[in-house]
């Protein structure tokens, strides 16, 4: 997650308003901010994202590269949509991108440059082992990989971790463990933590 800080003047410029408008939002409790030792207001990136979400406002284009992104890949539409809902609710300041085919996922990962990919292991055309290996061989940016499968045998877990996944989550555990594991991976916690 980004820990970038903004001044009231920087936010005013991003939103196309005067600085006193940003100060009014802060004083009205609409936008969370803190004061430096010198008495200047500072606003975190996550506080701005929360403000935008609560008020149904679009993110300024400059925020796009600072907003954490998670790509979710599963060939089963019901599972894909379930995981999308879980992550959108549990990680409200994260952009969740749903993809149903490994080749499309590889293209989206190259274009979107997410911080995390959550993927099913058993899919048609390209299984998660090959998908994971291809990502690890071709990546030019840091990316965390979370493999999910209904097959939670030790052999499957060993194989996917050997292929380059950072973590493994059994599909039956996903509804209650997916958000926490994604938070840990986005925060940069080591594999297997």
Going residue by residue through the chain, which has 193 residues, state the pLDDT in tens, using 9 for 90 and above.
445 788 999 989 888 889 999 999 999 999 999 998 888 999 987 788 788 878 877 777 666 666 789 999 999 999 999 999 999 999 987 889 999 999 999 999 988 889 899 999 999 899 999 999 999 888 766 789 999 999 999 999 999 999 999 999 999 999 999 999 999 998 875 554 4
Q: What is the pLDDT of residue 111?
A: 84
Helix (H) or strand (E) holding 154: helix 154-163
CATH code of 5-59, in short, is: 1.10.1660.10
Whether 167 contacts 191, CB under 8 Å: yes
Class of domain 68-186: alpha beta
Could you tell me which of 122, 93, 92, 119 has the C-alpha nearest to residue 108? 119
Could you tell me which of 150, 112, 104, 155 has the C-alpha nearest to residue 131? 104
Domain ranges of the chain: 5-59, 68-186
Matching CATH topology for 5-59 and 68-186?
A: no
| Residue 14, CA distances (Å) to 18, 45, 50, 63 in order | 10, 12, 16, 9
Record the tokens describing residue 109, joined without a space: 């990962």
CA distance 27 to 41: 11
Give the position of tokens 């600072």: 66
Record the tokens describing residue 171, joined without a space: 């599909």
- Please give the model's pTM, rounded to 2 decimal places: 0.69
Could you tell me which of 26, 18, 24 has the C-alpha nearest to residue 42? 26
Torsion region of 2: left, alpha or beta (phi above 0 gives left; psi -120 to 50 gives alpha): beta
C-alpha triplet 74, 129, 95: angle, nearest 5°: 40
């Amino acid at each position: 997650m980004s820990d970038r800080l903004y001044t009231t003047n920087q936010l005013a410029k991003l939103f196309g308003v005067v600085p006193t408008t940003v100060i009014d939002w802060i004083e009205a409790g609409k936008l969370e901010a803190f004061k430096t030792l010198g008495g200047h207001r500072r606003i975190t990136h996550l506080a701005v994202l929360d403000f935008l979400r609560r008020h149904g406002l679009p993110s300024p284009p400059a925020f796009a590269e600072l907003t954490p992104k998670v790509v979710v890949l599963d060939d089963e539409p019901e599972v894909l949509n379930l995981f999308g809902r879980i992550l959108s609710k549990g990680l409200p300041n994260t952009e969740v991108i749903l993809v149903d085919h490994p080749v499309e996922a590889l293209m989206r990962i190259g274009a979107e440059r997410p911080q995390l990919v959550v993927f099913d292991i058993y899919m048609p055309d390209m299984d998660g082992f090959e998908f994971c290996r291809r990502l690890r061989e071709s990546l030019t940016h840091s990316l965390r990989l979370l493999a999910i499968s209904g097959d939670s045998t030790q052999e499957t877990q060993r194989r996917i971790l050997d292929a380059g996944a950072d973590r493994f989550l059994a599909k039956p555990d996903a509804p209650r463990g997916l958000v926490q594991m994604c938070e840990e991976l986005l925060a940069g916690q080591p594999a297997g933590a």
